[in-house]
Amino acid sequence: MKKHFEDLSIIRQHFIRYLEDYDLKHLTHIPMGFKNHIFWNCAHALVTQQLLIYHLSGNNLLIDNDWVFRFKKGTFGEQNINENDVTKLTELLSETVSQTRIDYFAERFSNYQTYQTSFGIRLKTVEDAIRFNNIHEGLHIGYIMSMKKHFD
């Protein structure tokens, strides 16, 4: 699993780079043909990771419930976002990778509840969730790469 956490760290560095490279106007712009913006994709990836790994293992999330409410599956990029949100998201994207790694190797996810993703993939273990999460976050990196073409 060490490799999967290394991959997640790399994915998260891409999210962080986008948050640092673009101003609030660009981060919250919804290009034509999209339902969300760059900030939403970054926050949604964070929220989904927390739900797939912590929630489905019966553990407390490392993020506030407000993040879940605002950026869970089915939400859209219509929230009011400010610079403090960008700063906080940048911190959470980094901190949650480290803490999840620590919690995984401390075996805090042993009570995993099976979950069927909307992709049709059944997650039976936390290892399944960690692997799937990287796929999910990679998908959202792809959305961001497509969105940023509207800025260049």
The predicted model gives 73-85 an average pLDDT of 91
CB 63 within 8 A of CB 55: no
CATH number of the structural domain 2-148 = 1.20.120.450
Q: Is the pLDDT of residue 131 over 70?
A: yes
Q: Is the pLDDT of residue 60 over 90?
A: yes
The model's pTM: 0.96
Confidence of residue 151 (pLDDT cuts 50, 70, 90): confident
Q: Is the pLDDT of residue 77 over 90?
A: no
Q: Which SS3 state, helix, strand or coil, does residue 122 take?
A: strand
Q: How many CA atoms lie within 13 A of 51 on its CB side?
A: 17
Residue 152 has a pLDDT of 59
* Residues 102-121 pLDDT 10s: 999 999 999 999 999 999 99
Instruction: Tell which residue, 122, 148, 118, has the closest CA to residue 42.
Output: 148
The predicted model gives 116-137 an average pLDDT of 97
Q: What is the Cα–Cα distance from 46 to 40, expressed in whole angstroms?
A: 10
* Residues 29-56 pLDDT 10s: 999 999 999 999 999 999 999 999 999 9
Residue 89 has a pLDDT of 98
Q: What is the Cα–Cα distance from 92 to 76, expressed in whole angstroms?
A: 20
Q: What is the Cα–Cα distance from 95 to 36, expressed in whole angstroms?
A: 24
